[in-house]
Amino acid sequence: MATLVCLHAHPDDEAIATSGVLAKAKAAGHRTVVVFATRGELGEVPEWIEPDETLAQLRTREAEAACAILGVDRVAWLGYRDSGVEDDPRNGDADTFHAAPLDEAAERLRTILSEESADVLTHYDERGNYGHPDHIKVHLVGYRAADLAGTRVVYEATIDRDRVIESIRANTADMPPDVEFPDPEEMELGMPASVITTEIDVSGFTDLKRAAMAAHASQIAETSFFLQMPADRFHEIFGVEWFIRRGGPLPPAPREDDLFAQLDR
- Report in angstroms the alpha-carbon separations of 82 from 35, 134, 148, 190: 14, 7, 24, 21
pLDDT of residue 234: 86
pLDDT digits (tens, 9 = 90+) for 208-229: 999 999 999 999 999 887 888 8
Q: Is 87's pLDDT higher than 90?
A: no
Summary mean pLDDT of the chain: 91
Cα atoms in the 13 Å half-sphere on the side-chain side of 15 = 27
Listed by start position, the domains of the chain span: 3-264
Which burial class, exposed, middle or buried, applies to 57 when counting CB atoms under 10 A from its CB (0-12, 13-18, 19+)? Answer: middle
Statement: 3-264 belongs to CATH 3.40.50.10320: yes
pTM: 0.93
Model pLDDT for residues 116-169, shown as the tens digit of each residue: 999 999 999 999 998 999 999 999 999 999 999 999 999 999 999 888 777 766
In 24-152, where do the E strands start and end? 31-38, 74-80, 120-124
Is the CB of residue 89 less than 8 Å from the CB of residue 97? no
Rounded Cα distance between 25 and 99, Å, is 33
| Residue pair 123/141 in contact by the 8 Å Cβ criterion | yes
Q: Are 159 and 190 in contact (CB under 8 A)?
A: yes
Is residue 177 over pLDDT 90?
no
